[in-house]
Each structure stands twice: as C-alpha cells, then as structure tokens.
A and B are shown apart, each in its own frame.
Chain A
C-alpha cells in the first residue's frame, strides 16, 4: 500500500516537497551528490537537502542531483523526501555525498489526493479516505464502484442490480437530498467527470478498473467545499495509472471466470401441482358465486382435473432463464519513460456474459498518455482514454411484465419447449368459462428474440500544462473533454407477445436512440508554497469553467412487415419521434489556504464561488466556504515521550457545499407547445409553464469532528469521525394544489439531517514471515427529515397499483415504507363482530389489517401508516489480508444490520386473484374453515375491489446481511523459476471468488436490490425482480516483463 502511494507521490507531490526548502543563502564550500531510492536505485526528484539547524537548503533536480553550499565541515545535511525515512550525513571533508533513502513504513507520510492538489496524510484536516487499491486489484468486477464495496467507512455502495454494466448507487454519509440526486461527484485524474447514473448503464463502466491507481473519497464539507455546488454528496477522486520518468515496465493481466446465481435467493414459486390447486380454489369460488353450487371436477379445465398426476415442480421458469456465464478480462499495460518523457499505453478487452441468458457486456478500453518536460520548469501531459461498450440488455427490476417478472408468475404446468424441442413463443393457460390465469410470452423466447442493444463510445481527453515559475510558485492549466456517442436499438419482433396478448404477424416495432454528449472543461490554478521557520503556508487560487451539451434523437417505428429487416426503412410508420438538447455551464472561482504552525497546528480554509446556468438570474452565483482545524497532539512535548502512541491528531471542520443536480431549464417558464385542430387543419397550441426565478442549489452544511490515533509505530491505526450534515433548501418537485393549473413545481424547500459516526481500525497484528493486515470499518448514519414544505405535508412515493409504497415525513427518515399493518386473516367470528374493523370486500380468510385511524373500518390509504425503516442501523466492512512467503490471501466482508427490505415478489405476483403463480409460502394459505392454513396467509381473492393485495407489513423483511464479498488467494512464482530468462520479472497467479455467500434472513436474493422503476431515494428498499447478483469464481495471472 505504501509502495503504491509512493509511486504516485514521486511526481505529483514533487511540489509539496518544495515547501520544506529554502534558498541557499551563504556558503563556505559546495557539496554535490545524488539522492536515490533504495528500492529501485532511481533518482528522487524534489527531495529536500537541508543544513541541519539552519534554514539553508535545496531540492534535488529531476534526476535526483543536487548542489548545496555548506558553512563548514561540521555541517550536517538532512536528506528527506515524502514517504521515505530521512537520513543525516556529516559533511567532513567530502565533496560528493550520494544518499540512498529507504521507504518509510509508517502510513503518516503517505500522500493523499485532495481537491485540486494533494497533502501528506498527517497534514489532513478533513475527513478523507483512500482505498487501498492493491487489496482489491484481483476483484473480477467490471467497474470501480464494485471494488469499493465494504472498503470505506461512511461510503455505502448499494449493489442494486447484477446486470452486466448496470449501475450501482454510491451514498457517502447517507441521503442528503430528495429531489436532486445523491450520487457523489467523480473526479478522474483531476478533472470532474460529468455523468448521470442510472440502473441500466453505470457511468463508471467507462473507466477500466484495472487501470486505476487510487481511489480517494472526500467526505466532510471542508474537503468537498472546494467543489462547491457539486460537492454536497461527497467527492470520489479516481486516478488512473500512468508511466513515470526513467521507468519501464510491461505487464499483462488476464482474468477469466464464471458467474453463477446462487441457489439462495432464487425465488421459490408454487409447484405445478400446488398451482393447480390454486386455480381450482378460484374456480370453486366463481362457481359458487355465479351458480350458487359446489364445483365438481368437471368444472375445472381438463388439464387441472387430476393434479396428483403432476409430479415434481413443473417448469421453473426462473431457472431456465439463468446460465453459468463466462467473464474474461485481458489487460496490457506498457509504460516507458526516459529522463524527460514518460509514456503510458493500456489496452483492455472485457467480455462479460450475463447470468440471464442473452444478456452481456463487451468493453474495449484504452489509455494513451504522454508526459514530457520542456526544459527545467514546464511539464506538459496529455492523455486519451477511449472506451467502447456494447451492452445486451433486458428489462429487469420494473414489474411483472419484464422477463424476470413473467418468469415468476408464469404457469408452471406449461412447458417452454414443444415436442420437437423448440421454444414455444406464447403460452396459453388452460381455461374454461369460469376462469383463466394470464397468458404469457415464453420469457426465454423473449430474451432470445428481443433485441436491446446499446453501444457507446466515449473518450476522455486531457491536456495539462504545469509551469514551475519559481520553486514556490506553480501554475497549472488543463483542458479536458469528455465526448460520447450512444446508439440504442430495441427491436421487438412480431413473434414476441406480452401478457395476455398473443404475438401477431407483421407487428414488429423498433425504438432507436442516437445521442452525443460533449463536455469541455478548463481549469487553471496557481499554487504558492512557502515554509519559513515554524510556519508553512500553501495557497491555491483557481478559476474554472465548464460547458456541457447533450443531444439525443429518438425514433420509434411500427409496424414492420417482416422481422427479417429491422431498419427504419422497412417500417410502415414512424409513430414516435423526438429530439432533446440539454446544455449547461458552470463558472467558478476557488481558493484554499493551508497553514501549519510548528507542524502541529493545522488550518485549512477554502472558498469556492460557483455560477450555474441551471438557476434563475437572481440566484446564479453562490459561495461555499469551509474551515478546518487540526491539532497533532503527538508533536507536543507531553506526548513525544510516550512511545506507544505514534500519532494522535484531533480534527474539526465546518463548511458548506451544494447540490445542483436538477434539470437544466427548471427555473424557466417554458412555453409547452402541442397541437390542436382548427378548421380541420393542425395548429400550434401552447401553454405557459410555471416559472421559478429564485430556484437555486441545495445547501449542505456539515460539521465533522475526528480523531486519528496511531499506536505501536502505527501498527494499529484508529480513526473516528462524527459528522452532522444538514441539507437545506432541498430541491424538491413539490406537489401543489391542482387549482393552480399544475400538479407539481420544483422548489427549494425543506431540510434533511444526516448524523453519523464512522469508525475505522487498521492494524498489522502479525508482521513477520506471516503478515496479517486487518482493516475494519463501521458506520452509523441517521437520516431525519427536518422540514418539507410550509405545511410539512408528507411526500408519498412509489407505486403499488396506484397507491404509494413509501412516505417521507418530518421527524423520520426519508422514504419509510407505507402500508397496512397485517394482523393475519379474518375469522368467521371477526366478520360478525362489529368491533373488528373490516373493509367491504372482506370475507373469511381475507387479509386482516389494523384500523389505524380507529374509525371502525379499514379504508384504503386512510389506514396506511409508516411500517418500516429502509435504512440499516449500521453498515460495516471487514478486510483481512495475509501474506506468507509467496502466498497472499485477502478476504473482504461487508454487511449491514437492521433496516427493512420490501420483497417485491409479494408486491408483483403474490396477488391471490389466481391470475398468477405465487410464492411457495402460499401453500399455507386459508382455504376453508377446515383448512385455515397458517393464519398468516390469506385465501384466494374473490371480490373486487379488494384490499387483499395492498402494501402491508407481510411484504417487509429484515435486510440485515453479512456477505463474504470477496476471497482472493494469490501466489507469486519464485523469481528463480525464470532466472534463466531475463524476460519475466514477476509472475503471480490468483484465484478469487466474488460474492461467495450472503448470510441473511431475507428470502429474496439481494437485500440491497432496488426496483429500477422507482426513485431509489424516495422509495428505497423496493426489491422488484432485480437482476440477480452472481457469484463469480475467477482465475487470474499477472505477468510483469
């Protein structure tokens, strides 16, 4: 880990070293020499050489050479460099002194990235965490967010879908916003990376995770305020690998494995036999109602007359969609560097099959980078990172009509194949005049035939120039572009039907989208660093601007005469079209001062002023200040003698950041144009929208108090942070009375508090032949709505048959579950008892609910109440790594305790009207007085409208889980196995298992699953037919040449 960070530090932190240096001011004689690293014997540029006891000193040049004037022979020279142990040499009569510095084992000298710069870890005043990338290097994942799972305190990576290339959701210190998004800002190689997150395509998929050098997360406001109106949800700094001067390496990394959906979590539905009994129950009731008699066997469809003949479970529609899927990733990395130019070349190919048949992802990515010194003081660098992605998708996580949804409710007595072994396109349930279950398209056939293909090409291009005007003063300017082209084609052939709708010849339809996106960013900063005696000061001033434009054209066509030709020209009609152009711009001024006194009192003050096109003229600019203080108590005399305490730092910060993620033109009253017919010809018909000139960003004010403690020469490190973040002026699409002519308006209103505690413990219990490193983190976050609109009316969200599933109300966390409290089923005694509250369609065996408002009856919605909290009490991660000789073993676990998840299976298909298959547990349903079931599961629903299938406590389950998210075992081949050839430098093979096991009481597959169809902020914890998370077993090899 230290080594990895040191690599970064060499170049990036060159400037920081300078602050320890003072010009040579007097001399008797000149000493020269070279400072090199013990590790690789390469020169260390920017190392400090100081005459001890004086302020005289110099720094080494780019090759590590130095010249220094010393007063006399007794002078002692101190050689230091960040990340290395300092060395002292007495001059005596030497004229040339070469020094070799050894790596400093303590993590305190590590340099970490911060916004627009970097700092020594020990000088940090804010809450900043860096992911030890090395421990997650082997993970067989396609995007970097998946590597962050469980690794960082206060950073929750919600794995909501297992779809290849699908999005995940990252929450830093909880949900601070209701209407403006909660995803952090990503900054790639110093440039903010504009992206939008959605469940179908993860923006981070465009960055090859094997090519990532480090990931740093800025959590508190003092660290994020430098990103102003974009910092409120935290900032993730991603650095990609690049070559260094005077270094050459070639490495190849190949990973291959397969993914499998674990048995645990696959939905269990009624077997064919039990499904027949469900159908017969329904028919019994229909016959009794219509003909007032008891049904006989002849009243059932013929196929259902002998249920005992059905042995086994029938067709498991879910299982037939699943496969063991291959995943292969090839990586080639070439780095070449001489003393003035360094060159980086990376090439990757990833092919990931989805565990759902016919889905998958392919990625070609590359990075081409060059860095060159122009003379002594100017360095320019440029890079291109083109990526091409092809994704074969299917709809999942929406409803009972996506393939996973159909696979749950599909009739299990029917077979997907005909007698010749061909797939049957559409299946009709046995029916008669009394009843029929829904007919459905064969979900496997749908997957096979429907095309949902997205291709995206994206290139990140960057040019940076760095000019060291004086050793203290650096000017930096950079341009970056992010250009993307997206092409989406969906073709639904005429042979594919949908629920209750058989396919029809000549009825194919297509949906085409083409889009381009372009982002141009310019950032200019000046950094001034100076150290005078006990004072160190570091000033940053900057000016940046950014422009973004997206242009999408959409065309849908229908019908197609033949499925053979799927291009637009073959369609008979274009039935939908549109174009959207989205533009925004941002203009900012920023500044930061770091001041250190006596190495122990640290102050950081930042200020950023942002102007955004997204807000009304009256509120276009806002300023985001922050202040942080830290005290390195270890440096004080009273602690310096206690050797067991190697570091103690107390930090406090307070600051403001913002969130500007709303639509681009939301403050304007748009003229919405439609059409009407006058004089039998089409005329334009317009309407004026609601303006909001005062619309502005959300503000987040956060205080953070932290302590960093290092014990036993930092073999044990402990960090604790308490934070309190209050978001106000929340951007909220507020429902307003319809008598205004509108139903909702985007306004700044309400506030939310997130309060929490993060604990992190890192230790090296064993450091001999057997090395053991342990890293634990645990975070508690409490989310509380402080205010909504002026009347504090709750916000309802989610949708179950037109009714809300979640409620956001003052004093409670965002998006609590909202529904009936289930109290079992009505007995016949209940039905006649006037004291038992009922709803009109209630019969014996119907679901029984609690009368919340006490009016003696059960009424839809009126007797709904908040029935559960979707957020865990705490979440945690545990990472153990071991090294023994050539072996290394890494085990990552993560989990959460508390919180509820809504099992979407119950919401989508456990509707006892008999149209659908339902989950296995309904075997125990109420059937008759003599077969009352388990008293929990109600009987078949007969009357409509019925309240039987409403969001209720029975659908909620405990979301506590512990997941062994990764185990990797590596073996480094002995070096002498290749001694005869100088070709191989290093060879390592490794085996990893991703998502080995999840321990949870939740009956679904993924306690963090989230429906793609609803907002994951206002309606969290709704797990509807989400794409299952696979277990991945893979084998990899690293070759260094």
Chain B
C-alpha cells in the first residue's frame, strides 16, 4: 500500500515534470511564433519615412532643400499680403455688411491686437523655414553622402543661407528685434532665447547672404528655374543694405546683378503675370505656384476679387467668396498715382461692376495681377509670386545713386523702368528730392500688390505721414469706420509679437500693443 503510494507519487512527479516541460515548450513556441520581441515591437510608419532611414543619398538633401521653400510659399499665399500690402495705402477691405472681420480688416484699419492669426502664422512659418535651413546646414556633411557633383552640395548650402537670410529679413522688417536662432534647438532651450537687437539680426542676414553668394558662386551649371541663385542672393543683399540705409555697401551687389547680363526687363509689363508662361528673365526670385495640385497652388484671386462677384472674376462660381474675398481692393490713393498712359495700371487693376457696400451699383476695382485657375476646377491658381525683380534692382540702384548725390546717373535707370511702362517722356529737371519722390511713386506703381509698399514706406520714413492721410480719406469715404481706426503712430510701425509666443517664449512685446 505504502509502496504503491510511493510509486504513484514518483509517477505523478515525473508526469508533472513532463507536463511542465510541455508547457514551457508551448510558451516558447508562442513567443517564437510572435517573433523576437525587438522586431515585434519595432514598427515604422508605412506611409512616411522617418529620420533614421533618411540622409542616405544626394536626393534626400535636395528634397530637404526643396522643403526650405515651403513655409515661405505658405505665408506668401495667406499672410504676407495682409501684413505688407493690405496694411498699406495700396489695399483696403471691400466692406461687406454680412460678415464681420476680425483678422484682415483689423490689420488694414490699424486695429489689430497681438493675437492676430496672420502675424502668428507669419512668425511660426518663418521660424519653421529657419529651422529647415538650420537642419540642412547641420546634417549635410554628417552622413558621408556621395555627391554626383559638388555644385549640388554647394547649391543646397547656398539655398539654405539665402532662405535663412530672407526669412530673417522678413521677420525683422515686421517685428524689429526677434530671437536669433542659427541652430536647431529643443523646446526647453528655446524658452531661454530672447529677442536680439535689430542691428545684430541685420548682421546675421548680411552674413548669411554673403555665405550664400560664396556657395552659389560655382553653381551656375546646376541653376534651376525657381530656385534661389547667385544673383537672387546679390539682389536681396542689396535690398538688405538699402533697408539699413547702407548705400555704399549695397552698391556692388546690385551692380553685380546689373552687370551679369542674365536679367533684363520684359518688353511687356503684363507678361510678368502670366501663369501659363512664367517669367524667369526679369523675375530674379519668385515663390513658385502651380494649379496642378491644391498644395502647390495659390488663392490670391479668391481673396482679391470682390466678395459679391460670384464666379465673374474667378471663373469658379462654386467657390464662395462671401466670407473670404474682397481684400486688397485698390484704394483711391493707388488709383490716382498712375499717370495717363501708364501701361501698368491696366495690367494691375481691373473693374467689376456690382453692388458696393452702400447698395449702389458701380465699378469696383480689383487687383488683376493674379489670375483665376485655367484648368483646375477648384480654387487652385498658379501665378508665381515675385519676391525680387530686375526692375526692383534698377530702382534700388537708382535710389542709391540719388541718395549718394549722383542724381543724374540715377535718372537713366528710372527711365528704363518708366519706358517699359509706356511712359517715354525723358525725365528732366529732377533734383535729389524730386527724384526721390518720383522713385517712391514708381515703386508704388511698379510693385503694387507685390508686398513691397509697406516696407518701402517704412524704409523711406514716410509711413506715418502717408498712412495718416490715407486714414483720413478712408474715414471720409466710409463713415462707419470706428473712431480709433487708422490711428498710426511710431509704435504701429512694428507688428505685435504674437501673444502665444509672449506666453510660451516669454518674449517682450513691442510697445503699444
């Protein structure tokens, strides 16, 4: 009996052992079935690449360089025109009794507060662009890439310096002192970075553009239409020096463009704005748009056409303009500045006859530089947006000559621009002061709706005077404008630092906001 029990125990013990073995085996089997845990848990997205598997080839860096343009495209489409053209005496809001206006109209009327989305978008996108440039500059030599041609590497570096400089130039012209970030940074570090003096920002911009010129110098063989280039960097650097009133420094860079022989004025001003036949002869650098994809397109005409014009102008009756159209309507100030015979007027401004804000039917002007889509069925328009044109270089050069006491040498450059516009009368009897004011007028006409006017007004110190006069006219014409609209003082020449950056980044606000 006892023996029996003992045997039983042994048998039971052994069978248990076998069973345990089986279980352990089974467990391991399921583990094996599910794969090794590292592989099992290592999942990468199927629909996008990730950084760990990037930076392998030259084309990865070319793609990153292409990406540096995107934030600028985005703010050019949506924000830059609000805060640099609509705000000026060139553009106004077409009044609309059925919609309120909280973001664009307030900029036009100098009522904006620091939470305006156009300023915050502009800020966010500019720094997004700067970060892309910083990232490319940091990574480009870290991965042992085999370059098919060193020119492509040089070109990519040149683009990064060019765009970083241009992003900062745009930022500082709006906000004045801004945080200077020249490396990629983490969120924790960013909080400690404060606003840098305007002068230092300019030094950095100048340094970037000079670097850009150096790197672009040997890349002529890989120049592509739409990309930043050697002469774009020269022209923008000229503009930076001019904005900083450093005329002598500006001169050689503008001369480099003029003497390059690469650029000339198009015989016909209107040809500059043909989305089907884009210009790269006079246009030195432009943001590229195309109507082939919604992402690549712009919506300028859908913002600038009168809001009640339906599909008359846009050819897209389905697209609702009521809440989004009717901005950058040419003002009387702009309309009056054109002399008779100036071909630029018809190329820049058209009229649509319809009901105006007061219920009266009359021809309402609108910006004609940007065209509706040709083949796209939606609101995808394809006009490129010029950042710098050869005529700008000529007028800047004239301005420098005039400012440095060489008025007579300046005149031919102004005439060159005027002649193309059909104004062939020679400029005689001009002195330093009157030429100065003529150049200002030429610039207003030549570059209307090209986001130059507000910066030109600020650069020439005329902003307060011109805008106050404009405000008085506007209030006389539209009696319902609030009393506090168009109250322009020195503080209003700088844009408000976006509220959320004041909170997140602990930045000091510009005075007056």
Contacts and interface: CB of A to CB of B under 8 A. Distances in A.
Nearest to A620: B41
B50 A683 contact: no
A434 B97 contact: yes
A507 B295 CA distance: 22
B73 A676 contact: yes
B358 A688 contact: no
B44 A682 contact: no
Given A438-B98, A736-B187, A739-B193, A686 B64 contact: yes
Interface stretch (B24-32, B334-342, B388-396, B437-445): B24-32
Contact of B69 (A507, A559, A676, A742): A676
Contacts of B64: 686-688
Given A678-B224, A742-B131, A436 B98 contact: yes
A861 B505 CA distance: 18
B132 A580 contact: no
Interface stretch (A1-9, A152-160, A353-361, A469-477): A469-477
A188 interface: no
Contacts of B99: 500
B44 A665 contact: yes
Interface residues of B, number: 101
A739 B288 CA distance: 25
A374 interface: no
Nearest to A497: B320
Contact of B503 (A286, A470, A477, A793): A793
B315 to A, nearest CB: 13
B178 to A, nearest CB: 8
A734 interface: yes
Contacts of A689: 51
A737 B49 contact: no
A427 to B, nearest CB: 14
B262 interface: no
B101 interface: yes
Given A290-B479, A802-B117, A840-B482, A674 B98 contact: no
Interface string B4-41: 00000000000010010001001100110110010011
B100 A671 contact: no
A680 interface: yes
B71 to A, nearest CB: 9
Given A676-B73, A685-B67, A289 B50 contact: no
Interface in A734-751: 734-743, 745, 747
B197 to A, nearest CB: 16
Contacts of A75: none
Nearest to B181: A739
Contacts of B135: 688, 741
B97 A677 contact: no
Contact of A668 (B23, B45, B100, B288): B45
A89 interface: no
A391 interface: no
B403 to A, nearest CB: 35
A1032 B63 CA distance: 60
B23 A739 contact: no
A896 B351 CA distance: 62
Interface string B113-129: 10101001001100111
B296 interface: yes
B179 A739 contact: yes
A841 B482 contact: yes
B46 interface: yes
A616 B224 CA distance: 40
Interface in B309-323: 317-318, 320, 322-323
A846 to B, nearest CB: 13
A475 B480 contact: no
B409 interface: no
B42 A740 contact: no
B167 to A, nearest CB: 11
B43 A543 contact: no
Interface in A671-704: 671-680, 682-689, 691
B27 A803 contact: no
Question: What size tier do the contact residues of chain A reach?
Answer: 35 or more
A679 B223 CA distance: 10
Contact of A558 (B33, B130, B378, B484): B378
A194 interface: no
A678 B228 CA distance: 10
A28 to B, nearest CB: 13
Interface in A826-845: 840-841
A525 B322 CA distance: 64
A657 B181 CA distance: 41
Nearest to A735: B504
A737 B45 contact: no
A678 B226 CA distance: 5
Nearest to A669: B51
B260 interface: no
A433 interface: yes
A800 to B, nearest CB: 12
Nearest to B112: A945
A684 B30 CA distance: 43
A913 B43 contact: no
B185 A559 contact: no
A682 B31 CA distance: 47
Interface string B382-407: 00000000000000000000000000
A686 B378 CA distance: 25
A559 B319 CA distance: 11
Contacts of A306: none
Interface string A660-674: 000011001111111
Contacts of A526: 23
A290 B358 contact: yes
B294 A687 contact: no
Contact of B49 (A671, A675, A676): A671
Given A522-B34, A665-B50, A740 B187 contact: yes
A676 B296 contact: yes
10 contacts: A436-B98, A469-B23, A679-B224, A682-B293, A685-B70, A688-B51, A688-B64, A841-B482, A859-B113, A913-B100
Interface of B: 16, 19, 23, 26-27, 30-31, 33-34, 37, 40-52, 54, 60, 62-64, 66-67, 69-70, 73, 97-103, 105-106, 111, 113, 115, 117, 120, 123-124, 127-132, 134-135, 179, 181, 184-188, 190-191, 193, 224-227, 278, 288-290, 292-296, 317-318, 320, 322-323, 358-360, 377-378, 479-480, 482, 484, 498-501, 503-505
